[in-house]
């Protein structure tokens, strides 16, 4: 489970309502934000408030949710928290619907005329040579 991926998903959930969350806490978010935001903020609020850099990142995002630098700073702070706490990472991943069973496949091609693909159906054209 990649903390950076989880942090990116959490930041994407929090960004649209950052100002509302920050100004009036979770209860003010209301039904418009939905359960995901409430659960996520409920899980992260104390952690964010307890870490100065994370708190500042959230403040900046609340002031300007469209600022990609502010989004990046929050994402970075969340990633650090999630790297340090695997249980929190699993809980946040569950809230933002990150599938823990995702399998990644790495395919490497090297050398002249090499082709890399997971599945090839049909022919492959390499320069002037046709191979089936």
**What's residue 115's pLDDT?**
73
Distance of CA 96 to the CA centre of its chain: 9
pLDDT, mean over the chain: 80
Q: Is 126 left (phi over 0), alpha (psi -120 to 50) or beta?
A: beta
Segment 53-111, tens digit of pLDDT: 999 999 999 899 889 999 999 999 999 999 999 999 999 999 988 765 544 556 666 66
Please check whether residue 18 is in contact with residue 58, taking contact to mean a CB–CB distance below 8 angstroms: yes
| 26/114 Cα distance (integer angstroms) | 54
| 109/78 Cα distance (integer angstroms) | 35
Global pTM value: 0.68
């Amino acid at each position: 489970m990649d903390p950076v991926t989880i942090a990116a998903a959490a930041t994407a959930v929090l960004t649209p309502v950052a100002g509302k969350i920050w100004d009036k806490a979770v209860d003010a978010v209301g039904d418009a934000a939905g359960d995901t935001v409430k659960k996520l903020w409920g899980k992260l609020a104390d952690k964010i408030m307890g870490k100065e850099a994370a708190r500042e990142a959230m403040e900046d995002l609340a002031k300007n949710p469209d600022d990609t630098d502010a989004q990046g700073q929050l994402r970075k702070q969340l990633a650090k928290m999630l790297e340090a706490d695997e249980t929190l990472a699993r809980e946040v991943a569950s809230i933002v619907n990150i599938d823990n069973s995702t399998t990644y496949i790495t395919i490497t091609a090297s050398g002249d005329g090499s082709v890399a693909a997971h599945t090839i159906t049909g022919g492959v054209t390499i320069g002037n040579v046709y191979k089936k």
